[in-house]
Amino acid sequence: MKISYETAFRAKVLFLALVFAILIFKVVYYPLLTHKVVPYGVAAPKGQIVLLENITLGNYTWKNSVDMQKHLILKSSEDYGNSVFLEIQTPGWCADVAFWDGQKFIVSEKCVRKLVIPKYLFVITPGFYWYVEPGYHLIFYKPEGRPENYELVNFTVTYGEKIDWGAFKVAYGKS
């Protein structure tokens, strides 16, 4: 059976229209229909081993401490306000908040267990991961005594109504 030229042309045009409709649906509408917000949480640290360091910024030195600028990563695509609340749960540990740009040195908080961190202290990437801004340092340390090897440090981070936990184990580097 032979198909007429007009019928074959209509079938080709219908096929092309169907291909374009599927392509437009996949590119435009499917991401809109399946979009999910990134839930709030602490992405890292979640139990990793972190090496203790002796940190010097300006004329201030912390012994056997952890700079969370390198380790703390949050995630969220929702806006719950301008501040993040961090609380250290492990007894004996505290944190300092410092700013160092290579010339200017400021310690805004000294040995606190509960801190309110402004949201602008974080760089928020297109993937909704929050990294501590370069120049800012959240230094966790134990002011009384020396930390035990593989001591677990727990903390909670609250953003709006959302709460998540973070933890890391501290270890000494090889001598």
| pLDDT one-digit tens code per residue, 55-91 | 888 788 889 999 998 899 999 888 888 899 999 999 9
138 with 64, same domain? yes
Tell whether omega for the bond before 45 is within 30 degrees of 0, i.e. cis.
yes
| Non-local CB neighbours of 43 within 8 Å, separated by 6+ positions | 73, 74, 75, 129
pTM, whole model, 2 decimals? 0.75
Split at pLDDT 50, 70, 90, the class of 160 is confident
Split at pLDDT 50, 70, 90, the class of 38 is confident
Residue 152: the pLDDT is 94
Range of the domain at 155: 41-171
70 with 109, same domain? yes
17 with 60, same domain? no
Q: Residue 15 is inside which H or E element, if any?
A: helix 5-24
The structural domain count of the chain equals 2
Q: CATH number, domain at 150?
A: 2.60.40
Residue 158: the pLDDT is 93
5 with 82, same domain? no
> How far is the C-alpha of 71 from the C-alpha of 50, rounded, in Å?
8
- pLDDT reading at 36 higher than 80: no
30 with 55, same domain? no
> How far is the C-alpha of 79 from the C-alpha of 73, rounded, in Å?
16
Angle at the Cα of 102 from the Cα atoms of 88 and 115, rounded to 5 degrees: 20
